[in-house]
Structures are given as structure tokens and as C-alpha cells.
Amino acid sequence: MDKVATPAEAAPEVDLGVLNDVIGFRIRRIQNHLSRQFLERITDTQLRPGGFSALALIAANPGLDQTTLARAIGFDKATVVALLDGLESLGWAERRRQTEDRRRHALFITAEGETALARLSRIAQENEAAAHATLTEAEQAELYRLLDKIYAACFSEPEL
């Protein structure tokens, strides 16, 4: 027994100091916790981080190519190759060579993939149940709006 403590046990009031105004800090704390717990819940699957996201995006965007997928989840294209190898060996997704541009792979989810995705979605929801429960619907909508606004802003901002 020596795992990373959940925030629950953290309790002791720690002053955030200058981190009070650092968005990245607040976000990372939550992200760390959520992703760690999510991965624990799906240890039975051979899924790596990003696997769920990749599967979900393929499902929602049939024919997606690998480069676009890589950008959407913020990974390197080489990392996506390994991710897809995993999804294919599970029989959850497949690559089809595009005829118009034979360099490209069009990605599709399989029937088994759909089943797996449904289960993973359910687990993701359970994983975030506490977070969802603590927000009203309006608050949740507002949170999404603000996060999307920030994401988009990382955008237009060329590099600076």
C-alpha cells in the first residue's frame, strides 16, 4: 500500500500561492486524477491512454485519416500508429487504404468496436460521476463552453 493518494486523503489545506492563477495547475490536478482512475477501471482491456479517445473519434468520424486523428487527440503521428495497431489487433477498428490518395488510411470502427465503445463510454461516465453530480446542468454547459473557448484560443494564437 503506497499508491498515490486520492484528493480525498489530501485534505490538508495547502495554499496555492502563485499557482492560484495558473490554469494549467488546476487542470492538471483534475486530469491526473481522472485519467489514473479511468485507466484502473479498464485494466482488463489492452487499451493505452488515448485509446478510448481514438476509438470514439473514429466512430464519430468514419473515414478519418491518421494525421487528422493525431492532431485531434494531440499526439504525434508515430504514437497514433501504435494506438491503431492496438485497436486493430483487438478487432475494434480497421484501416482501409484510400483509393483517391493511396498514401492515406481511412479509419473505421468495427461492430465489436462499437460494442466496446459503448462499454468504455459507460465506464467514462461512471468515472466522472462525482464531477458531473457536483455541477448543475447549467454549470456543466458553462464549463464546456469555457474550456472550448480556451482550446480555441490556443489556436488563433499562432505561436507568440
Partner DNA sequence: TATTGTTATACTCTATAACTATA
Partner DNA sequence: TATAGTTATAGAGTATAACAATA
Residue 105 binds DNA, judged by CB under 7 A:
yes
Angle between helices 77-89 and 51-60 (to 10 degrees): 80
Residue 2 binds DNA, judged by CB under 7 A:
yes
**Contacting DNA within 79-98 (CB under 7 A):** 79, 81-82, 84-85, 95
Rg (alpha carbons) of the chain, rounded to whole number: 18
Residue 77 has which C-alpha cell?
Answer: 503521428
Q: Which is nearer to DNA, 74 or 138 (CB)?
A: 74
- Selected binder of DNA within 8, 44, 102, 154 (CB under 7 A): 102
Q: Are 57 and 93 in contact (CB under 8 A)?
A: no
Residue 11 binds DNA, judged by CB under 7 A:
no
Q: Which is nearer to a second copy, 19 or 46 (CB)?
A: 19
**Contacting DNA within 35-54 (CB under 7 A):** 36, 39, 48-50
Beta strands in 9-121 (DSSP E): 93-97, 105-109
Q: Classify residue 153 by its DSSP letter.
A: H
Residue 151, H or E segment: helix 137-156
* Binding residues for DNA (CB under 7 A): 2-4, 36, 39, 48-50, 65-67, 74-79, 81-82, 84-85, 95, 100-105
